[in-house]
Amino acid sequence: MPRPRVKRLIRFKPDVYYFKPQGIPLRLLDEVVLQPDELEALRLYDVEENEQTKAAGMMKISQPTFARLIDSAHSKVAKAIVNGMAIRIEESS
């Protein structure tokens, strides 16, 4: 039986939930989905320029878990940009 997932501290709630290439209707685009914890990791690391250990502490997770989150988020955003896909931000529960 897997270990229960620890609740992650997410302080940011975006006003916008979709980003897409200009000039292409959303219904014609494939999309990648960013989870709320991935968006929070991007915000803490790339926007606020915190070190991984500090950002992980702010989210109440370990640094290796934070590193996996940031790698996943970077990969999804890069895939969307390179392949002209929409980015949907999943709403937190």
CATH number at residue 66: 1.10.10
In a domain, 82, yes or no: yes
Residue 85 falls within a domain, yes or no? yes
Tens of pLDDT, residue by residue over 28-56, are 999 999 999 999 999 999 999 999 999 99
Length of the chain: 93
Placement of tokens 């790339």 in the chain: 46
Kind plus residue range of the DSSP H or E element containing 33: strand 31-34
Cα separation, 23 vs 1, in Å, equals 47
Number of domains in the chain: 1
**Residue 22 binned pLDDT confidence (cut-offs 50, 70, 90):** very high
Per the domain annotation, does 41 fall within a domain? yes
Note the pLDDT of residue 93: 64
User: Within a domain: residue 42?
Assistant: yes
Helix (H) or strand (E) run with residue 74 in it? helix 63-83
What is the extent of the structural domain holding 84? Answer: 18-22+29-89
Average pLDDT of the chain, as a whole number: 92
Nearest to 60 by CA among 42, 43, 37: 37
